[in-house]
């Protein structure tokens, strides 16, 4: 009985040895290279998945940080903005001192920036984008991305001011003077360099005149004449 059992065990062992061998797990460089090939073919979804696999399977490798950056870039190119933010969050948590932090901050800013909608339908992304670009400028004033971030901030401030002006005009049409004045003062106080500032000063003269406060109205009229003597809004002021 014992001999029969041993013979059966040996046959099983031999059968296992003669079967199909289990393929080895792919190396970190193989996964990364495969992800890069998918990126070159513009298969952004598959590429991001493979880059994330590189980082998650080999978090301690020298490839991990670069894989996260590449994954975030692929997600951005794939319009997966939620995924981009999650991946860049992970990068910032685990690699806060990495040399490519300025790029990751810029990519985060652009992720918000690309979601800014029409001036009449503000989802809040403009403020998030502006804050991200400002953080980049404050932390890395000499980075390769700082100048572009400054240009984006100018665009965003004009956008935010435009949104406030759009709402202020509606308030004035409804004679909601308190709300209109608040929005117009916001434009002057937080976005002085925008194209909306002269109009804001002009409309403040109108709003204060409408509620019977000529002194305040005259103050904004003088401010408009002094700061923007050649503006079309200055020319509209009553002499």
Determine if the pTM surpasses 0.85.
no
HSE-CB for 193 with a 13 A CA cutoff: 7
Q: How far is Cα of residue 31 from the mean position of the Cα atoms in its chain? A: 28
CB 136 within 8 Å of CB 145? yes
Q: pLDDT digit string (tens) for 98-111?
A: 999 999 999 999 99
pLDDT band at residue 239 using 50, 70 and 90 as cut-offs: low
Maximum average pLDDT range among 45-49, 61-65, 193-197? 45-49
- What CATH topology corresponds to 31-96? 1.25.40
Quick one: pLDDT at residue 28?
Answer: 85
**Gyration radius of the chain over CA positions:** 30
Quick one: pLDDT at residue 20?
Answer: 57
| Residue recorded with tokens 């002006």 | 165
The burial of 196, by beta-carbon neighbours within 10 Å (0-12 exposed, 13-18 middle, 19 or more buried), is given as buried
Q: How far apart are CA 220 and CA 10, in angstroms?
A: 99
**Helices 44-57 and 28-40, interaxial angle, to 10°?**
160
Q: Is 151 left (phi over 0), alpha (psi -120 to 50) or beta?
A: alpha
CA dihedral 198, 231, 129, 98 (to 10 degrees): -120
pLDDT band at residue 26 using 50, 70 and 90 as cut-offs: confident
Residue 206: count of CB within 10 angstroms of its CB = 17
The pair phi, psi for residue 230, each rounded to 5°, is: -105, 5
Query: Does pLDDT of 10 surpass 60?
Result: no
Quick one: pLDDT at residue 73?
Answer: 97
Quick one: pLDDT at residue 4?
Answer: 42
CB 166 within 8 Å of CB 184? no
- Cβ-proximal residues to 175 (8 Å cutoff; 6+ apart), any chain: 210
């Amino acid at each position: 009985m014992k001999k029969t059992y041993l013979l059966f065990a040996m046959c099983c062992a031999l059968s296992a040895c003669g079967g199909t061998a289990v393929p080895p797990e792919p190396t970190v460089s193989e996964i990364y290279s495969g992800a890069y090939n998918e990126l070159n073919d513009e298969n952004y979804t598959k590429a991001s998945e493979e880059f994330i696999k590189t980082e998650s399977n080999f978090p301690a490798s020298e490839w991990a940080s670069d894989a996260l950056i590449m994954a975030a870039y692929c997600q951005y190119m794939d319009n997966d903005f939620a995924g981009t933010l999650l991946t860049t969050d992970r990068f910032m948590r685990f690699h806060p001192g990495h040399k490519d932090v300025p790029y990751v901050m810029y990519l985060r800013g652009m992720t918000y920036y690309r979601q800014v909608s029409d001036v009449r339908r503000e989802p809040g992304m403009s403020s998030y984008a502006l804050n991200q670009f400002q953080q980049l400028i404050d932390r890395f004033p000499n980075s390769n991305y700082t100048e572009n971030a400054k240009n984006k901030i100018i665009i965003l401030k004009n956008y935010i001011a435009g949104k406030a002006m759009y709402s202020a005009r509606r308030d004035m049409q409804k004679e909601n003077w308190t709300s209109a004045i608040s929005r117009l003062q916001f434009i002057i106080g937080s976005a002085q360099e925008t194209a909306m500032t002269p109009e804001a000063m002009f409309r403040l003269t109108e709003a204060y005149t409408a509620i019977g406060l000529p002194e305040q109205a005259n103050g904004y009229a003088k401010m408009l004449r002094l700061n923007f003597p050649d503006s079309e809004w200055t020319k509209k002021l009553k002499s």
